Amino acid sequence: MTDRVLIIGGGPAGLEAANQLNLLGYKPVIVEKDDTLGGHLAKWDRLFPEGESAETVLYKLIKPVEHTPVYLNTIVEKADKEGNNFRVKLSGGKEEIVSAILVCAGFSLFPAEKKEEYGYGIYNGVITSSDLEKWFKTGKGVNINNPSKVGFVHCVGSRDEKICNRQCSKVCCVTAVKQACEIREKFPDSEVFCFYMDLRMFGRKYEDLYLKAQNKYRVRFIRGRVSEVSEDFTGKVVIKAEDTLSSKPLKVSLDLLVLMTGMISNNSIGEISGILSLNRAEDGFIEPSDSITKMYDSGKEGIFLAGAVTGPKTIPETLSEARASALAIHNYLSNKALQ
């Protein structure tokens, strides 16, 4: 059993799948378009719901595959089926002959500047949840010291017909609650507000985090959409919203407004799905052949899927799928060997 398996994407899904394929006796090779492994996990500071260090989790995923061949700064340019194998042409002139391909190309973040009304890229005090993670992790990217009032806007770029994305991104409610608690921990004198439509705290221990945010950290949850964002002459961000539970309009001045940008389909997925003839759903994510019993199956022989390339997912969900995909590849290649 020495079949080579090409993994497109070296984020959590690709790393875990590579580890499992190694353990099953195959030879995975990872193609990563960026200059480092880890995908979005490499950008996060602490993980919900319990604040685990993202760096430690990433180390646990990278360590077992440290001897796996990796092409960094590389993408797939062409893949032709040749008998039971694929001849894959990579950028930089390299070529790989592989028995199966696993697509783990993940997701992109909704570009916040597309929702102009929130003032991202215009007002200093308006940042995204991803910018906030970067600030927590590196101390860089936010030009505000000691914020005393911070607001979070949920559903930016998700559940929004106007930008043609009706879907919920699933992870941003719990991320907002986690980040709201972190702000209160780092800046104990601060006031923190979360503006939400619905709170979707669907996972185990997520409700505990929500209760902690209310009872321990006194985060104020306000049900209502932010309708207007502007900046006053002192540089504070002024927001108008309606509290739909009390039916009262609100106006709040903030030092920092954090936009919870959603998970959308990977910007480069068009190219990959074109090269591999994969189906895409209406929301742009790759469509598996059966979204209940075969999330790992692309419907194309020898091509498999794992992680957020098929839709918003948490890291535990992504890792479980990566393991399922590795097993599906093993079954596929074992059956081929018997034919």
Ligand X SMILES: Cc1cc2nc3c(=O)[nH]c(=O)nc-3n(C[C@H](O)[C@H](O)[C@H](O)COP(=O)(O)OP(=O)(O)OC[C@H]3O[C@@H](n4cnc5c(N)ncnc54)[C@H](O)[C@@H]3O)c2cc1C
| Residue 175 or 325 with smaller CB distance to ligand SF4 | 175
Closest CA to 72 of 42, 116, 52: 42
Strand ranges, E, within the chain: 4-8, 27-31, 46-47, 52-53, 70-71, 76-82, 85-90, 95-98, 100-103, 107-109, 126-128, 149-156, 191-196, 220-223, 226-231, 237-243, 248-254, 256-261, 263-265, 303-305
21 binds ligand X (CB under 6 A): no
170 binds, among ligand X, ligand SF4, none (CB under 5 to 8 A by kind): ligand SF4
212-271 positions binding ligand X, by CB under 6 A: 263, 266, 268
Minimum distance from residue 146 beta carbon to ligand SF4 (Å): 27
Minimum distance from residue 283 beta carbon to ligand SF4 (Å): 12
* Cα–Cα distance for residue pair 83/63, rounded to 1 Å: 34
| Residue 15 or 219 with smaller CB distance to ligand X | 15
The stretch near ligand SF4 (CB under 6 A) out of 18-26, 28-36, 162-170, 179-187 is 162-170
Burial of 3 (0-12, 13-18, 19+ CB in 10 A): buried
The stretch near ligand SF4 (CB under 6 A) out of 8-16, 56-64, 154-162, 291-299 is 154-162
| Residue 79 or 219 with smaller CB distance to ligand X | 79
226 binds ligand SF4 (CB under 6 A): no
| Residue 191 or 317 with smaller CB distance to ligand X | 317
For residue 322, what is the enclosing H or E element?
helix 315-338
The stretch near ligand SF4 (CB under 6 A) out of 16-24, 33-41, 153-161, 179-187 is 153-161
| Residue 71 or 206 with smaller CB distance to ligand SF4 | 206
Burial of 215 (0-12, 13-18, 19+ CB in 10 A): exposed
The stretch near ligand SF4 (CB under 6 A) out of 68-76, 150-158, 222-230, 234-242 is 150-158
Measured CA distances, 314 to 187, 243, 289 (Å)? 28, 30, 21
Positions touching ligand SF4 (CB under 6 A) are 154-155, 158-159, 168-170, 172-173, 198, 200, 260, 262
